[in-house]
Structures are given as structure tokens and as C-alpha cells.
């Protein structure tokens, strides 16, 4: 895999990048070197805010509006990108360096067919004629294992799935046969089962065309599959850089070690005889159209965590909406401590509402940007428990302590917090109600791994101390292993199985559970190869 000693394609020396905020320039990248040979893949990892995307974009000589490169040199194949005029730079971007963004859906023009967008750069730069570019695009679609490669290009972006769109975008990047592709978290928004296919496709392409790539991600297991070398960034500084295998086997710096340790979190599964929540034979649909839930039954034992896993569209979140009463079930019932809950939220009492709280995936949108942390946490205290003034303030401080933040955060607005801190505030808002059940809807999937671990440990500690039961919705099996007692697997609005964690995770599995478990990346550079080998044997 590694082919060092090839000729140098990209050489970045002592790069400094600044962003403009608050009437002054603040450093984002503080002097980082980066070099890349032809055909080599470099993985860039780090927490959000580490500057990995900014550095990745800078390797094209590009910065976002409001940022500037204030120092260093960027030499791409003998050309100094910082000296080029913007029109010459744009020609290089179209033809020799390509960029694959995290959100493919936002990067396509919805008004044009996929194939027109795929070939646009190659044709504009005169690299190939329109017809040859189109033939080539169809071949690329085929090699990226898109369905119906001959005709999929005739569709519009909204007519294909997110995973397919991500692969089309990779094809678009490859169309002019660039020397360098920058992948900026290309699989973060995808399901595990789709992610495997996209990863495999990207890696084949990079190997077949001898393209160099910078692969930016916060998922260590993914970068282990893709990269020849890994560079770890933090606070805009380089922490360390090494060969992938070497880095995985023996990371040198403490910070890198702590990143690696995250995946070892695991809790012993326990059972409980009494159920706090029973969902019994529930059907549900949105606005009378097709049913989204079919005869779903889930039980949540007291003081335990039940994880609901499945792809997007499997009905996980809908089940949560039925429990909260936002979407009344058309059939079946929800029992809370043995008593039936009114199906519609409007008929539930304040006490019933208090006992079931919810935490969302996107902490950004779950908090009112115009309210301070004190107001956000204080409101349920005032609303449910009638606390006011000093008493309320003291309780908010206590809650901030318990989520490992401090009094300084009381006056801050959500915009002044990091992603992990935001999610902690959301957790403390739920805790403030002193609930029996908390529904966690993908609460960690938008966070970096090291932050994820902190959040999961916080949730587990709260469970030990307060005996809260969690209904934990996720598509990440590693999270499930870490915190659940029981697992529910859902597919197409039905429950495939529910059982104790260890039973569900150990064979024999129903077919779908098997596929889901197989798709979870492991921290082993050979994992992806193994998955595809097994697949080809099975075929």
C-alpha cells in the first residue's frame, strides 16, 4: 500500500492561516508542514476546530472567505500556488486538483443532470471532448459500483440516494484525472452499510489511477483503511505524523494515545425485571400516507439502556416521536410504569411530560441561539419545579458542575460553545427536569470521537447516580457496544430483534443484523480488504 520514495507532488512548508473575527486576525493553522508523493494517501485527523479542513483546502491554495494564508509556501508539482493569479489557480482546481466535500447533496446544482455536472470541468478545461468525457464518466460510475451506470447520469441530484450522490461526486472529481484529490469527510453523513461501499470505491479508484489524496476525517477506523500515512492535528498544530501501521501500533504522543483509547469504552450488560416503558404493537404513519411503523413493540427496563439501531429510514426516530406524543400512534399503546400514556402530547399532564425528556442529535438546533446557558437550563427548573432567583441559579451551577462544566458558562450563548459543550448543556437541560426516561436521538453522531466518549461516560454516570433509563437511538455499533444493556434492531419500520446486548452481538444473527455488524469499521488496516474478500467469496 505504501509507496514512499515516489516523486514529490505537494510540498507545504510552515503554513500559517488566519481567520478574521472580532476585528482582528486569529491564527487557525500555526505553522504546519505537509508533503505528499504521487499516488500516496495522507490521512488528516483531529477534533473539530483542529484546522484539518482548513489545511486540506489550503493545499489547493484556497481559503474560505474571511480567512487568509499569512505565511509559508505551497508548491504543487513545481508550481508555487501562492504566487499564481486567481484565474490560473482556478484552472488548476478544475483540472489537476479536485475536492470532494462532506455534504454531496449541498454541492450539486439541483437544476442540472448528474452527468452534465460530472464532465463539466474536464470539458471546460479542454482535457477531453464532450462525448469521450461522457463515456469516461459512465465507466467511472461503473467502477464506483453505482447502479445502472449507463443511465444514472441522466438523473437529477434529488433522484439518487445520499450514498450514491457521494460516489457521483467522487466520479466528478476523477473525471479530469486530477493528480490530487482532497476528500473532506466524504462518508461522515452516510450509514455504515453505505459507508463501506463508498470507502471501497474510493480506495480502488485512488489505487487504479495512482492519484494522490488527502483524506480528512475524525473517524480513526476509517482513516486506518484509507491512508498510507496519518497526520494528527490539534489547535492548528501538528501533534505527530507516522506511517498508518506504525501509528496504530504505537502512537507516541499522549494526545494520540487518548484518541486511540476511546474505542475501548464498554459497559457490562445488566437486566432488570421491571419495565419503565413498554411500547406495545404500535403502528404509526405521517399524515395518513404509508405506514412508517408496523407493529413495533419495544420494552425499556428500569434504570437500563436500550439501544435502537438501524439505517436511516428504518423508523428509529419515528418510534421516539410516538413515545413523546409528537406523533400519536394509529394503533397500539405506550405504557409508562404500567399506566397507559395519552397518545397525543396535548392530553398529557405536565408531570407525564417531565418524566420523559429528549436529547437531540444536533445540539446546535436544539438550543435557542438567543438564550444563555443559564436561561436554557433554568427554564425546566422554573417550569417543572417552580424554582426562582438565587435558588434556581444555585441549582443551575450544580447541574453545570455535574456535566463537568463550571459557573463561567452561565452567561454564555450557544454560539460560544464547542459541539461537545453544547451537547452537555442539552443533557443538563434534560437532567434539570429530573426525568425517569431520556430519549437520546443520535446524540453523539455529530461529534468527534474523543468528545463522544466524554458524553457517553457522562450519560452512564448519570444513569448510575440517578437511575435514569435511556432509549438510545443510534446507527453506530461502537456506541451501542459501549453503553447499552439491550439492543433493538429495526429495519423498514419493523423490529428485527430485541435482546440482551451480548446475545444480539454474538452469532447467530438474523441476516440484517449480520450485515449491520459487518459494516462497522474496525481499527485494523486490513479490515476493508477482509470485508470485500468475504463478499467476493459469498458471491
**Cα distances (angstroms) measured from residue 327 to each of 1, 330, 460:** 51, 9, 28
Angle separating helix axes 162-174 and 130-143, nearest 10 degrees: 130
Q: What are phi and psi of 72, to 5 degrees?
A: 100, 175
| Identity of the residue, 30 or 155, whose beta carbon is nearer to other proteins in the bound complex | 30
Quote the CA–CA distance of 34 and 14 in Å, as a whole number. 8
Q: To the nearest whole angstrom, how small is the minimum distance from the Cβ of residue 54 to other proteins?
A: 14
Between 142 and 265, name the residue whose CB sits nearer to other proteins.
265
Q: Which is nearer to other proteins, 410 or 532 (CB)?
A: 410
The two beta strands, 305-309 and 486-491, are parallel
Q: What is the DSSP letter of 341?
A: P
| Minimum distance, C-beta of residue 34 to other proteins, in the bound complex (Å) | 20
Looking at the Cβ atoms of 295 and 364, the one nearer to other proteins is 364
Site string for other proteins, 377-416 (x = CB under 8 A): --xx--xx------------------xxxx-xx-----xx
Which parts of 369-443 fold into alpha helices (H)? Answer: 373-385, 389-402, 419-432
Identify the residue among 287, 370, 386, 465 touching other proteins (CB under 8 A).
Answer: 370
Stretch that binds other proteins, among 37-45, 331-339, 446-454, 469-477 (CB under 8 A): 446-454
CA nearest to 197, candidates 165, 220, 233, 230 = 165
Q: Please state the closest distance from residue 365 (CB atom) to other proteins, in A.
A: 5
Other CB atoms within 10 A of residue 273 CB: 6
Among 4, 5, 7, 23, the residue binding other proteins under the rule CB under 8 A is: 23
Shortest CB 303 distance to other proteins, Å:
22
* Diameter of the chain measured on Cα atoms: 74
| Of residues 268-297, those binding other proteins (CB under 8 A) | none
Closer to other proteins by Cβ: residue 138 or 218: 218
Of the candidate residues 145, 324, 330, 337, the single one contacting other proteins (CB under 8 A): 324
Compute CA distances 406 → 29, 40, 319, 400, 424, whole Å: 29, 45, 35, 5, 12
Is the peptide bond prior to 268 cis by the omega test (within 30 degrees of 0)? no
Contacts with other proteins: how many residues (CB under 8 A)?
56
Footprint on this chain of other proteins (rule: CB under 8 A): 21-23, 30, 47, 49, 65-66, 235, 237, 253-255, 258, 324, 326, 345, 348, 350, 353-354, 357-358, 360, 362, 365-371, 379-380, 383-384, 403-406, 408-409, 415-421, 424, 429, 433, 450-451, 453-454
Amino acid at each position: 500500500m505504501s509507496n514512499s520514495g515516489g516523486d514529490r507532488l505537494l510540498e507545504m512548508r510552515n503554513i500559517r492561516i488566519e481567520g478574521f473575527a472580532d476585528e482582528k486576525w486569529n491564527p487557525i493553522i500555526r505553522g504546519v508542514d505537509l508533503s505528499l508523493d504521487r499516488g500516496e494517501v495522507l490521512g488528516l485527523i483531529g477534533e473539530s476546530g483542529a484546522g484539518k479542513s482548513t489545511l486540506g483546502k489550503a493545499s489547493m491554495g484556497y481559503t474560505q472567505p474571511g480567512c487568509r494564508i499569512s505565511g509559508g509556501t505551497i508548491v504543487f508539482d513545481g508550481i508555487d500556488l501562492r504566487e499564481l493569479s486567481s484565474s490560473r489557480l482556478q484552472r488548476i482546481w478544475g483540472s489537476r486538483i479536485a475536492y470532494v466535500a462532506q455534504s454531496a447533496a449541498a454541492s450539486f446544482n439541483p437544476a442540472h443532470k448528474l452527468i452534465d455536472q460530472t464532465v463539466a470541468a474536464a470539458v471546460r478545461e479542454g482535457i477531453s471532448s464532450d462525448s469521450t468525457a461522457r463515456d469516461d464518466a459512465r465507466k467511472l460510475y461503473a467502477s464506483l459500483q453505482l447502479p445502472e451506470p449507463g443511465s444514472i447520469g441522466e438523473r437529477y441530484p434529488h433522484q439518487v440516494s445520499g450514498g450514491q450522490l457521494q460516489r457521483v461526486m467522487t466520479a466528478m472529481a476523477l473525471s479530469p484525472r486530477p493528480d490530487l484529490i482532497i476528500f473532506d469527510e466524504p462518508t461522515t453523513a452516510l450509514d455504515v452499510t453505505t459507508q463501506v461501499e463508498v470507502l471501497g470505491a474510493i480506495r480502488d479508484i485512488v489505487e487504479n489511477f495512482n492519484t494522490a489524496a488527502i483524506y480528512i476525517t475524525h473517524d480513526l477506523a476509517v482513516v486506518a483503511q484509507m491512508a498510507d500515512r496519518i497526520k494528527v492535528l490539534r489547535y492548528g498544530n501538528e501533534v505527530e505524523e507516522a506511517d498508518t501501521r506504525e501509528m496504530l501500533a504505537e502512537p507516541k504522543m499522549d494526545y494520540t494515545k487518548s484518541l486511540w483509547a476511546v474505542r475501548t469504552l464498554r459497559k457490562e450488560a445488566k437486566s432488570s425485571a421491571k419495565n419503565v416503558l413498554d411500547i406495545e404493537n404500535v403502528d404509526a404513519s405521517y399524515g395518513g400516507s404509508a405506514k412508517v411503523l408496523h407493529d413495533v413493540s419495544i420494552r425499556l427496563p428500569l434504570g437500563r439502556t436500550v439501544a435502537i439501531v438501524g439505517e436511516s429510514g428504518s423508523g428509529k426516530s419515528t418510534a421516539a416521536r410516538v413515545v413523546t406524543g409528537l406523533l400519536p400512534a394509529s394503533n397500539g399503546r405506550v405504557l409508562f410504569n404500567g399506566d397507559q400514556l395519552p397518545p397525543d402530547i396535548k392530553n398529557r399532564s405536565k408531570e407525564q411530560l417531565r418524566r420523559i425528556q429528549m436529547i437531540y442529535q444536533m445540539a446546535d438546533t436544539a438550543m435557542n441561539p438567543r438564550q444563555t446557558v443559564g436561561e436554557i437550563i433554568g427554564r425546566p427548573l422554573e417550569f417543572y419545579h417552580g424554582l426562582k432567583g438565587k435558588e434556581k441559579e444555585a441549582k443551575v451551577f450544580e447541574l453545570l458542575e455535574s456535566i463537568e462544566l463550571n459557573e463561567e458558562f452561565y452567561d454564555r450563548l450557544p454560539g460560544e460553545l464547542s459541539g461537545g459543550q453544547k451537547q452537555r448543556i442539552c443533557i443538563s437541560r434534560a437532567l434539570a427536569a429530573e426525568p425517569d426516561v431520556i430519549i437520546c436521538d443520535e446524540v453523539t453522531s455529530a461529534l468527534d470521537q474523543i468528545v463522544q466518549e466524554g458524553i457517553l461516560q457522562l450519560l452512564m454516570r448519570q444513569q448510575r447516580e440517578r437511575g435514569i433509563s435511556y432509549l438510545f437511538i443510534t446507527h453506530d455499533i461502537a456506541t451501542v457496544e459501549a453503553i447499552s444493556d439491550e439492543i433493538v434492531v429495526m429495519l423498514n419500520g419493523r423490529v428485527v430483534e430485541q435482546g440482551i446486548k451480548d446475545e444480539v452481538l454474538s452469532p447467530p444473527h438474523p441476516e440484517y443484523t449480520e450485515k449491520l455488524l459487518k459494516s462497522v469499521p474496525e481499527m485494523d488496516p486490513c479490515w476493508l480488504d477482509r470485508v470485500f474478500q468475504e463478499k467476493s467469496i459469498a458471491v
